[in-house]
Amino acid sequence: MKRVPLTCYFLLHLAPFVQPELTVAGDQPSDFTRPHFQAARPPINNKTQSDRAMHADLSTFANEAWILPVRSSHLSPGQITSRALNMPGLRPFFLVGEDSQSLAWLRQRAAELQEMGAAGLAVEVTDTEALARIRAAAPGITILPVNGNDIATRLLIEHYPVLITATSLEQ
């Protein structure tokens, strides 16, 4: 079975969170570009979009069985030591597995994770039923199955569940 490289999968996961900026070519758009500029205009009431968290729509990934099982040999359930990070602009995300510690952690922190707009990566999942149990522990939060070895190596972590933000790594 051909595996999708972790970096590509992670970028696809974060794509819905990226908002492209509009580059204006001139003060008066031509007839050719007018429809594009009209669609990009701010609302008439001049209210900007809220800073509310955005979540990816998983409806396009109707069948994720092709990527399962996911195993992350560099990670296991366990305790981590919290520490500061300096990664400006990083959107919060977390790593979990199908183990009971991860499921309890997700249930306990689901509201907080939802509020901060954190996305989840399930780094140990055997099948679609296990993935469904993980998602049921934190309804409304995007959780995708991904091998976490690269993330573990780069962030020097060995255990999950773990929350990674721009400023900290914590359990």
Boundaries of every domain in the chain: 55-170
Task: Show the tokens assigned to 104.
Answer: 């309890």
Rounded CA gap, 13 and 125, in Å?
A: 17
Please compute the mean of the pLDDT values over residues 63-82 and round it to a whole number.
93
- Cα separation, 92 vs 94, in Å, equals 7
157 pLDDT above the threshold of 60: yes
pLDDT for residue 65: 85
Considering the entire predicted model, what is its pTM?
Answer: 0.65
pLDDT per residue as tens digits for the range 40-60: 444 545 444 455 555 555 445
Lowest mean pLDDT among 48-52, 82-86, 134-138: 48-52
Query: pLDDT value at position 15?
Result: 56
Q: Classify domain 55-170 by CATH number.
A: 3.40.30
The DSSP symbol for 49 reads P
Please report the pLDDT score of residue 134 as a whole number: 98
pLDDT at 79: 97
Beta bridge mates, 170: 163
Predicted confidence band of residue 111 (pLDDT cuts 50, 70, 90): very high
Above 80 in pLDDT, residue 11?
A: no
pLDDT above 80 (res 1): no
| Residue 31 clears pLDDT 90, i.e. is over it | no
- Look at residue 14 and tell me whether its pLDDT is greater than 80: no
Collapsed DSSP state (helix, strand, coil) of residue 30: coil
The pLDDT of residue 17: 53
pLDDT score for 32 = 47
* DSSP reduced 3-state for 160: strand
Under a CB-based contact definition with an 8 Å cutoff, are residues 152 and 160 in contact? no
What local confidence, expressed as pLDDT, does residue 133 receive?
97
